[in-house]
Amino acid sequence: MTDDRWLKPTAACQGTEPLTDEQIASWREAGWTFVRGIFENALIERLRQAAAERFPLPDTEAAEATADFGSDLVFPSTLEGLNELTLHPRLLASVAALLGMEITDIRLSQSDLWPKYGRREKSAGALDNMDQRIHVDYPNHTLAHPTEWHRPEAVEMIVYLSHLDECGGPTAVVPRAGEGDPAYRWPIVDSPGIGALDYVNDRERAEAYFARERPELADWRAGLYARERYAAFEPGDVLFYRHDTWHRGTPMKPGALRLVQNLTFRRADCEWISTLHTGWAWKAYRRDKYLERLISRASLEQRAVLGFPQPGNAYWTEATIAAVEARHGVFGMDVTPYRTALTRET
Ligand SMILES: O=C(O)CCC(=O)C(=O)O
Ligand SMILES: [Fe+2]
């Protein structure tokens, strides 16, 4: 592949505002920004190791049978590092900057850790994820359709935990080339799975199907592949993209395992964007009370991202403050900020 087809990550800034103006502008205009240095390496390594122990080894029968995405490693989790990465203050600050909002106005709607295997054969037919069709992700995230380009509702991202050199499988992205880019024609419905079209994941089958169903647009889709750029990732790199960015997963090296964490944050006011997992509170009652501890230790911003009522919210009264303290105080929750906001109001 020629050198200019690779997307190279750019460095994050130190401190509480990790993204540069250029990175933010790239996400807003071109639909992607690829960033190195959001997380501490040690966190990425802890998460990678813990996750690697939970999945089948490559080249086993179980690995060969894992031909689609998804796993039970979802937020919140007892897996070392998963919650920490999901609610990392520098990640939340990055998302807020991309959307141009306060952290307290964004909500987590996806965080799961997915293995992808370099398999010897495409075993899942139309649903095989080895060499994906070019697509956008919105259909199984929102009940509606993404809003016009300049008012995005959500930030999606892939946090890579593996090395491209070892596993291959770079994510391909079609950078949007400004207003009127034909690749970004509106509405975004010209992809298998959308509207009446069957869902087909495998590229070859998807394009054969599309050529039958929408022959007049088959060349247009070929043009999307022709414009692909590939993310040259190392562990910890983050590809920020969007529900309306054309992209796809590409084949890996046979016998390899690639681990990634997929996350989405939405604007708090976009309720039509679904949370892809079981409700957070459903993880309560575990013997180790990890959900209760997580909420109690979380910062006000981290709690907001999970939908916990913020200081000043009408939820808070003397009675509810005392009640939440009765539930979570044992885990160290400090309810002072809720009380202070209440006192200020009255
Ligand atoms: O595996 C990748 O790099 C991208 C995966 C993807 O786009 C998807 O499954 O929707
Ligand atoms: Fe995707």
Looking at 238, 256, 277, the residue that finishes a domain is: 277
Tokens of 278: 């079981």
Tracing tokens 């106005």 back to the chain, one arrives at 105
Return the pLDDT at 14. Answer: 97
Tell me the per-residue pLDDT of 68-109, one tens digit each, with 9 for 90 and over: 777 789 999 999 999 999 999 999 999 999 999 999 999 999
Report residue 139 as tokens: 């259909």
Expressed in angstroms and rounded, the spacing between residue 333 Cα and the centre of ligand 1 is: 38
What percent helix, strand, coil does the chain show, rounded to 5?
Answer: 35, 15, 45
C-alpha to C-alpha distances, 171 to 79, 91, 110, 219, 258, nearest whole angstrom: 25, 20, 18, 22, 11
Query: Do 335 and 230 have their domain in common?
Result: no
| Cα 115 off chain centre by | 14
Longest dimension (CA), the chain: 67
Rg of the chain on CA atoms, in Å:
21
Ligand closest to CA 244: 2
Paired with 156 in beta bridges are: 241, 264
Give the domain-ending residue among 217, 252, 277.
277
Pocket test for ligand 1, best of 248, 250, 264 (most atoms within 8 A of CB): 248
Q: Which of 277, 293, 319 is a domain's end point?
A: 277
Is residue 232 located within the same domain as residue 88? yes
Q: In this prediction, what percent of the chain has a pLDDT beyond 70?
A: 99
Q: Are residues 51 and 169 in the same domain?
A: yes
**Candidate of 247, 261, 264 to mutate for ligand 1, largest count of ligand atoms within 8 Å of Cβ:** 247
Residue at token pair 């022709």: 226
Structure tokens at 58: 């490559």
Tokens representing 123? 């075993």
Instruction: Say whether both 273 and 287 belong to one domain.
Output: no
What spacing in Å lies between the alpha carbon of 156 and ligand 2's midpoint?
9
For residues 324-343, give the mean pLDDT. 97
Distance 249 CA to ligand 1 centre (A): 4
Ranges 120-129, 234-243, 317-326: which has the least confidence: 120-129
Residue nearest atom 1 of ligand 1, based on CA coordinates: 249
In order of 32, 325, 336, 339, the CA distances from 312 in angstroms are 35, 16, 12, 9
Is-contact 90 299, C-beta < 8 A? Answer: no
Q: How far is residue 102's CA from residue 93's CA, in Å, rounded to a whole number?
A: 8
**223 and 319 both lie in a single domain:** no
Do both 120 and 99 map to the same domain?
yes
Q: Give the separation between CA 216 and CA 218, rounded to whole angstroms.
A: 6
Contacts of 167 (CB under 8 A, 6+ apart): 118, 252, 253, 256, 257, 258
Q: Are 52 and 107 found together in one domain?
A: yes
- Work out the mean pLDDT of the chain and round it to a whole number: 96
Domain count, the chain: 2
Closest ligand to 130 CA?
1
Query: Once rounded to an integer, what is the mean pLDDT over residues 225-231?
Result: 98
SS3 for 199? coil
Closest approach atom of ligand 1 to CA 171: 3
Same domain? For 143 and 55 the reply is yes
Same structural domain for residues 252 and 295? no
Instruction: Report the C-alpha gap between 86 and 127 in whole angstroms.
Output: 28
Which residue range(s) make up the domain with 134? Answer: 3-277
Q: Indicate if 214 and 74 belong to the same structural domain.
A: yes
Q: What is the pTM (predicted TM-score) of this model?
A: 0.97
Enumerate residues 6+ apart whose C-beta is below 8 A from 62: 56
pLDDT of residue 288: 96
* pLDDT, position 344: 86
Ligand 1: lining residues by beta carbon, under 6 Å: 69, 116, 137, 171, 247-249
Which residue is closest in CA terms to ligand 1's atom 7?
248
**Rounded to an integer, what distance in angstroms lies between the CA atom of residue 110 and that of residue 262?**
7
Provide the 8-state DSSP code for 262.
E
CATH classification of the domain holding 224: 2.60.120.620
Residue by residue, DSSP assigns 57-110 as: PTTSHHHHT--S---S-BSS-SSTTHHHHHT-HHHHHHHHHHHTS-GGGEEEEE
Average pLDDT of 234-262? 97
Candidate of 171, 191, 201 to mutate for ligand 1, largest count of ligand atoms within 8 Å of Cβ = 171
Give 15-53 pLDDT, tens digit per residue: 999 999 999 999 999 999 999 999 999 999 999 999 999
Chain length of the chain: 346
* pLDDT tens digits, one per residue of 148-170: 999 999 999 999 999 999 999 99
Q: Mark whether 253 and 133 lie in a shared domain.
A: yes
Give yes or no for a contact between 252 and 258, defined as CB atoms under 8 angstroms apart.
yes
88 C-alpha to ligand 1 centroid (Å):
22
69 CA closest ligand 1 atom index: 9
Residues 333 and 220 both lie in one domain: no
Q: Which of 36, 31, 28 lies closest to 8 in space, CA to CA?
A: 36
Indicate the pLDDT class of residue 346, thresholds 50, 70 and 90.
low
Cα-to-centroid distance, 171 and ligand 1 (Å): 7
